[in-house]
Amino acid sequence: MKEISCKLLVIGAGPGGYISAIRAGQLGIDTVIVEFGKPGGTCLNVGCIPSKALIHAAEEFEKVSHMAGGKSPLGIMIGAPSLDLATTIAWKDGIVSRLNSGVAGLLKKAGVKTVHGWAKFRDGKTVEVQTETGMQVVRAETVVIATGSAPVELPFLPFGGPVISSTEALALSEVPERLAVVGGGYIGLELGIAFAKLGARVTVVEALPRVLAQYDAELTRPVVKRLAELGIEVLVGAKAKGLSTKGDALLVETKDGKNAKIAADRILVTVGRKPVIEDWGLEQIDLDMAGKFIRIDDQCRTSMRGIFAIGDVTGEPMLAHRAMAQGEMVAEIVAGHKRSWDKRCIPAVCFTDPELVTAGPSPEEAKALGGEIKVGLFPFAANGRAMTKMGEDGFVRVVARADNHLVLGIQAVGQGVSELSTAFGLALEMGARLEDIAGTIHAHPTQGEGFQEAALKALGHALHI
């Protein structure tokens, strides 16, 4: 049995883990990272990156489909397009492979030793790793747990056969003729919209009264409108009950209590994600938990000295960029730097059509915090760049305190608004006021002008509406 010792051991090479290991290596810390799969974790391999590749392919296919038969207002005319999904998936896999190699190369460049295998705690300073060549023991002064999350499986719809998770959905070799999506959150709608654009007949089943319930209704209204335009049937207040005897339909209880069958070649279950805490020896170290997640403080320390936890395993928001920021911070703490977790906001993006961006509280959430607020909303229907991109649905909205105009939250829905998330996050982190945003010269013609105009609207003197 081989044994190695290090100052820092990182368990999991997802976004949080590999960033933590790279930064630690840069700071001269003797670091080992353990990963069972390929570097990059869920995000790079079966999540963020491959789903965005599929979404882009679907957008391109829909564009050319509208140009067939002279339907395009742009005057572009082509013949009816066809799709080879296997080629699309191969292209997606190529991107993932390049990024895998990139992460591996960055770890090596930073002097991090990578051990491939599954880590199990023996105690708070020691793990056993089952590798291809046998058992390896790693002893470390400090440990970072970055084991991530996995799709939630419903007991009455276990994964297998026609029932798939997002992982299998991103590896299909052909577009299902009929796709039922269980769960109307961001994962279900992102993939449901993509497959609808590729030609599938999609039905979404959501138990709550509306889809994308984590966002306010005003923000999601353009997305709901787009679902109808794409022919996606949405059943809200409905509960999935199981698979039909023949395996060709989803059994559903509708909001009026009636039983129904939804014919489906594939049933995509997207009802959330759970932390990966099983099978790595949690019982050997006895960490305090916050529900099903590992409890941490504002520096990502767990209840056990010398053990940190970052990313999805520590709870919401389950976002790759949150994990990355935590991982970098922890590496610097281990190196002796003074660091803490004090983020004013963590922007979140939903890559539906149109896209959603949130940074900070919505108007209703801001009101609940107390005090008077000002809200400025600027529609993309009045934005020249949005018009030229045929993306007039949506808006930018700014929420600020009424007394001193401090910006509390910024939201947007529209075509390509994911790229505005950086500006939104920066404004909140730097404590911008409405006057700061309104007084910043925004390039014309861009959709970013909507940000300035929303601030001007809140101040009472919008220029273009």
Active-site residue, selected from the candidate residues 337, 405, 442, 444: 444
| Measured distance CA(394)–CA(218) in Å, rounded | 10
pLDDT digits (tens, 9 = 90+) for 301-320: 999 999 999 999 999 999 99
| Measured distance CA(285)–CA(283) in Å, rounded | 6
Average pLDDT over the chain, rounded to an integer = 96
Q: Binding site for FAD: which residues? A: 52, 147-149, 312, 318-321
Residue linked to tokens 């401090």: 406
Q: Binding site for NAD(+): which residues? A: 183-190, 206, 272
Q: Delineate the domains of the chain, giving CATH numbers in brackets.
A: 2-46+89-150+274-335 (3.50.50.60), 163-271 (3.50.50.60), 348-456 (3.30.390.30)
Q: Binding site: which residues? A: 52, 147-149, 183-190, 206, 272, 312, 318-321
| pLDDT score at 12 | 97
pLDDT digits (tens, 9 = 90+) for 244-259: 999 999 999 999 999 9
Q: Are 313 and 276 in contact (CB under 8 A)?
A: yes
Q: Could you give the count of Cα atoms lying within 13 Å of 264 in the half-sphere of its Cβ?
A: 30
Amino acid identity, position 281: G
pLDDT digits (tens, 9 = 90+) for 68-90: 877 789 999 999 999 999 999 99
Which candidate, 164, 131, 146, places its Cα nearest to that of 41? Answer: 146
pLDDT grade, residue 343 (50/70/90)? confident
Q: Would you say residue 132 has pLDDT above 80?
A: yes
| pLDDT score at 39 | 94
User: In the annotation, is 464 catalytic?
Assistant: no
Residue linked to tokens 């273009």: 464
pLDDT digits (tens, 9 = 90+) for 267-306: 999 999 999 999 999 889 989 999 999 999 999 999 999 9
| pLDDT score at 271 | 97
pTM: 0.95
Strands annotated E in 165-299: 178-182, 201-206, 233-236, 239-243, 249-253, 259-263, 266-269, 273-275, 289-290, 293-294
Segment 27-38 shows an average pLDDT of 97
| pLDDT score at 373 | 98
Q: Are 3 and 139 in contact (CB under 8 A)?
A: yes
| pLDDT score at 340 | 87
| pLDDT score at 347 | 97
| pLDDT score at 145 | 98
DSSP 308: E
Q: Are 317 and 346 in contact (CB under 8 A)?
A: yes
| pLDDT score at 270 | 98
Return the bridge partners of 274, or none. Answer: 150
Q: Would you say residue 376 has pLDDT above 90?
A: yes
Q: Would you say residue 1 has pLDDT above 90?
A: no
Q: Are 222 and 86 in contact (CB under 8 A)?
A: no
Cis status of the peptide bond prior to 151, with omega within 30 of 0: no
pLDDT digits (tens, 9 = 90+) for 142-193: 999 999 999 999 999 999 999 999 999 999 999 999 999 999 999 999 999 9
DSSP 438: H
Q: Would you say residue 421 has pLDDT above 90?
A: yes
| Measured distance CA(417)–CA(289) in Å, rounded | 36
